[in-house]
Amino acid sequence: MLDRAKGSVPFDAERLGEILAAHAGRRGALLPILHDIQVEFGMVDDAMVPSIAEALNLSRADVHGVLTFYHDFRRAPAGRTVVKLCSAEACQAAGGRALQREAETVLGVPMKATSGDGAVTLEPVYCLGLCSVAPAAMVNGRIHGRLTGDRLRTILGEAVR
């Protein structure tokens, strides 16, 4: 990783170039490029935006707008454990807000944040499609429904070991 202070970039610029080249000339390439970058690097660093914009003949503002509009794109590294709590209406009506407070307490990290040690990221997600078994969560890609405070504590305890 290179140092920004020295005028270089904090990511593998060659690999970024390969991703951009793979989508050259493709219509509507911005979202596929952002997805590929996130898969490769675990995030889309703000320092990548100028290269993406140039490759697609877009303004930096256009790229930044898309990057910040979609909640699944990360601009900072995620924790080793990622906890997504559904915040849609059905989950809220079934106790989702109390579960969010419980998760914040158990994990020691507020919603939309990553712990200082990089162990866990806690974030809301609009809908997991599990309204009939609300409230729901996704922990490291695994879906959990019909959550209670006790069940959530157990799941979180197992996930962050």
Region 105-119 average pLDDT: 94
> Residue 58's pLDDT band (boundaries 50, 70, 90)?
very high
| E strands, 4-148, in order | 81-86, 113-114, 120-125, 137-139, 142-144
Using the structure block, give the residue that is written with the tokens 């959530």: 152
Q: Which residues contact 90 (CB under 8 A, 6 or more apart)?
A: 131, 134
| CATH number for the domain whose boundaries are 81-159 | 3.40.30.10
At 9 the pLDDT is 53
To the nearest whole percent, how much of the chain has pLDDT over 90?
89
DSSP conformation class of 87: -
The residue among 106, 15, 21 whose CA lies nearest residue 56 is 21
- Which is more confident, 103 or 72? 103
Task: Tell me the domain boundaries of the chain.
Answer: 4-69, 81-159
**pTM for the structure as a whole:** 0.78
> Residue 137's pLDDT band (boundaries 50, 70, 90)?
very high
At 92 the pLDDT is 95
Token digits of residue 158: 């197992």
Q: Is the pLDDT of residue 46 over 50?
A: yes
Using the structure block, give the residue that is written with the tokens 């590294």: 77
> Are 124 and 136 within 8 A, CB to CB?
no
Q: Is the pLDDT of residue 6 over 50?
A: no
| Separation between Cα atoms, residue 105 and residue 149, nearest integer Å | 11
Region 128-135 average pLDDT: 95
